[in-house]
Chains A and B, each alone.
Chain A
Amino acid sequence: MDKLIRKWWWKILAVVLMLYVVCAGLLFDVPRLVILNETIRVLHFHVPMWFGMILLLLASVVYAIKNLSNPSPKNDIYSLEFANVGVAFGVMGIVTGMIWANFTWGEPWSNDPKQNASAIGILIYFAYFILRGSIEDENTKARISAVYNIFAFAILIPLLFILPRLTDSLHPGNGGNPGFNAYDLDSKLRKVFYTAVIGWSLIGFWIATIRVRMRLVQHVTEQ
C-alpha cells in the first residue's frame, strides 16, 4: 500500500474513467422515463458519491482493524483520513441528492432510504471526530476511535442496506414510484454507471492518500 499510493497509473486511470463518465453520461442514449426525463443522467454523478462513501469508510474500518491488531500511528492516520474523505463524499451525496429529489419527488428531503442512510453515516463519523478530539493521549485516541469505528460500521452497514427495503414497503406499487430506486438498471446504463463508481471511488482514494501522506510527513517532522 505504501508503494501503491505513490504510483501514478491508477490516478491516470481515475482521470480517464472520469472523462469517459462525463462524456458518456451526458451524450449516450438513456431510457425515456416519466418524471425523470433527462435527469436520469444524474445517476452517473450522484449515486457514485454514495458508493464512494461506503468504499472509503470500508477502507477506514480495515485500517481500524489493522490498528487494533498492530497499533501504529500510520494505521491510525490512514483510518482517520479515509473517514474524512468518506464523510466529504457523503455530504456531496446528500446535497446532490436533495437537488435531484427536489425535481423528481417534489421536495428536497423525502424520506428516501439512501438519503437517510448517508445522513446517519455522516452523523456517526462526526461523532467519531468528536470522540477523537476529546482524547488527549495519542495511543488511547487511536485505539478507542478504532473500536468505535469498527463497532459503528459493523452495526450500521447491514441496516443501511435493509432500510431501503423496509421503507419501500411503505410506498407500494413500483409503477407509482417515480424514484430511481424502483428501476433495475439495464446493461447500457450499467456500463457508464459502474465506470462512474470506479472512477469516483479512485478519485476519493487519491485525495485521501494525499491527505494521508501530508499527515505522515507532519508526523515525521514533529518527532
Chain B
Amino acid sequence: MWAEVKYLFLKEVTLEWRQKYAFNGLLLFTVSTIFIIYLSLRVKNQAGLPDHLWNALFWIIILFSAINAVAKSFLQESPGRQLYYYISVHPISLIMAKMIYNSLLMVVLAVIAVVVYGTVLGYPVINTLMFASVVALASVGISSVLTMMSAIASKAGNNTVLMAILSLPLLIPILLLSIKAVKNAIDDLTWADTSDELITLAAVDCIGIALGYVLFPFLWKS
C-alpha cells in the first residue's frame, strides 16, 4: 500500500511540475490577495496593523488560498484519469497520497504567504518556532478536510461553490484554534500556555486523516 501511496504522491508532484501554470496561478492568487489587503488597509502613519487584525487577516488569506489550492485535487481531474485511478489503485492509497500532497502544498503556500505578507504588512510574531508549528499543524488539518470535501463535491457535479459551502463551517473550529495559538506566538507566551491549542490541532489532524481513510472508499464506489 505504501508503495502505491508513494507512487501516486510522486505522480502528483510530477504533474504539478509539468503544469507549472496551476501552481503559479495559486501563487498569484495568494500574492494578489495580500496586495489587495495591503492597498485597502494602508494606514496614514506607518505603524502597521494591530496584531489581532494581522492575525485574523493572515488566516483568512490562508483559508481562501487553501480552498483554491485543494479544490483542484478532485474537481479538476479529467474523467479519463478518474477512471484510470478507479481501475488501477486502491482508494485508500489515493486519498492518502492526495492528503499528503495537499498538506505539503499548503505548507509551501503558507511559507510563501508569510514571506510576502510579512514584507508588506509587518511581522509581529515573536516566537517563530511556535508560529511555524501552528501553521504546519493547521495546514495538515485544513488540507485533509478540504481534500475530502473536494472528493464529495466532485461526486456532486464538480461544483466549486458547493465545496466552499461544505468545508467552511468545518474549518471554523480549526481557524479559531489557530488564531488563538498564533496570538500566543505573537504575545510570546510559553509553550505550556499554547499546548492545549497545539494538542487539539494535532487531534483534529488525526481525526481528519482517519475519517478520510475510513470514509473515502465509500465515496469512490460509484
Q: Are the chains A and B members of one assembly?
A: yes
Which single member of A123, A144, A154 contacts B168 (CB below 8 Å)?
A123
State in angstroms the CA–CA spacing of A219 and B144 once bound together. 36
User: A150 contacts which chain B residues (CB < 8 A)?
Assistant: 211, 215
Of residues 121 through 141 on chain A, the ones whose CB sits less than 8 Å from some CB of chain B are: 123-124, 127, 130-131, 134-135, 140
Residue contact A166 to B180, C-beta cutoff 8 Å: yes
A157-189 interface bits toward B, Cβ cutoff 8 Å, 1 = contact, 0 = none: 011101101100000000000000000000000
Residue contact A127 to B208, C-beta cutoff 8 Å: no
Residue contact A127 to B219, C-beta cutoff 8 Å: no
The verdict on A148 contacting chain B, using a C-beta distance below 8 Å, is: yes
User: B162 contacts which chain A residues (CB < 8 A)?
Assistant: 130-131, 134
Tell me how far the C-beta of B89 lies from the nearest C-beta in chain A, rounded to whole angstroms: 19
The verdict on A62 contacting chain B, using a C-beta distance below 8 Å, is: no
- The 3 A-B residue pairs with the shortest CB-CB distance, nearest first, are A159-B173, A123-B169, A124-B169
Interface residues on A, range: 20 to 34
State in angstroms the CA–CA spacing of A163 and B180 once bound together. 11
- Given A131-B156, A147-B152, A151-B211, 18 other A-B contacts at CB below 8 A? A68-B218, A127-B166, A130-B165, A134-B157, A135-B155, A135-B157, A144-B219, A146-B218, A147-B219, A152-B169, A152-B170, A155-B208, A158-B204, A158-B207, A159-B204, A162-B200, A166-B176, A166-B180
State in angstroms the CA–CA spacing of A152 and B148 once bound together. 11
B140-180 interface bits toward A, Cβ cutoff 8 Å, 1 = contact, 0 = none: 00000100100010011101001001101110111011001
The verdict on A156 contacting chain B, using a C-beta distance below 8 Å, is: yes
The verdict on B44 contacting chain A, using a C-beta distance below 8 Å, is: no
Q: Which of A68, A131, A151, A165 has the most CB of B within 10 A?
A: A151
User: B166 contacts which chain A residues (CB < 8 A)?
Assistant: 127, 131, 148
State in angstroms the CA–CA spacing of A139 and B219 once bound together. 12
State in angstroms the CA–CA spacing of A147 and B214 once bound together. 10
The verdict on A143 contacting chain B, using a C-beta distance below 8 Å, is: yes
Which single member of B148, B173, B211 contacts A163 (CB below 8 Å)?
B173
Tell me how far the C-beta of A166 lies from the nearest C-beta in chain B, rounded to whole angstroms: 6
Tell me how far the C-beta of A120 lies from the nearest C-beta in chain B, rounded to whole angstroms: 5
Residue contact A135 to B156, C-beta cutoff 8 Å: yes
Tell me how far the C-beta of A70 lies from the nearest C-beta in chain B, rounded to whole angstroms: 12
Which single member of B152, B172, B203 contacts A148 (CB below 8 Å)?
B152
Tell me how far the C-beta of B47 lies from the nearest C-beta in chain A, rounded to whole angstroms: 25
User: A124 contacts which chain B residues (CB < 8 A)?
Assistant: 169-170
Residue contact B169 to A143, C-beta cutoff 8 Å: no
User: A160 contacts which chain B residues (CB < 8 A)?
Assistant: 173
Q: Which of B155, B156, B200, B218 has the most CB of A within 10 A?
A: B156
Residue contact A154 to B207, C-beta cutoff 8 Å: yes
The verdict on B78 contacting chain A, using a C-beta distance below 8 Å, is: no
Residue contact B218 to A120, C-beta cutoff 8 Å: no
Residue contact A140 to B170, C-beta cutoff 8 Å: no
Tell me how far the C-beta of B156 lies from the nearest C-beta in chain A, rounded to whole angstroms: 5
State in angstroms the CA–CA spacing of A182 and B163 once bound together. 38
Of residues 183 through 222 on chain B, the ones whose CB sits less than 8 Å from some CB of chain A are: 196-197, 200, 203-204, 207-208, 211, 215, 218-219, 221-222
Residue contact A120 to B172, C-beta cutoff 8 Å: yes
Of residues 59 through 97 on chain B, the ones whose CB sits less than 8 Å from some CB of chain A are: none
Tell me how far the C-beta of A110 lies from the nearest C-beta in chain B, rounded to whole angstroms: 16
CB closest chain-A residue, reference B221: A143
User: A148 contacts which chain B residues (CB < 8 A)?
Assistant: 152, 166
Residue contact B155 to A154, C-beta cutoff 8 Å: no
Tell me how far the C-beta of B11 lies from the nearest C-beta in chain A, rounded to whole angstroms: 25
Residue contact A155 to B207, C-beta cutoff 8 Å: yes
Known interface pairs A134-B162, A155-B208; A144-B169 also in contact (CB < 8 Å) = no
User: A159 contacts which chain B residues (CB < 8 A)?
Assistant: 173-174, 177, 200, 204
Residue contact A147 to B218, C-beta cutoff 8 Å: yes
User: B174 contacts which chain A residues (CB < 8 A)?
Assistant: 159
Tell me how far the C-beta of B99 lies from the nearest C-beta in chain A, rounded to whole angstroms: 13
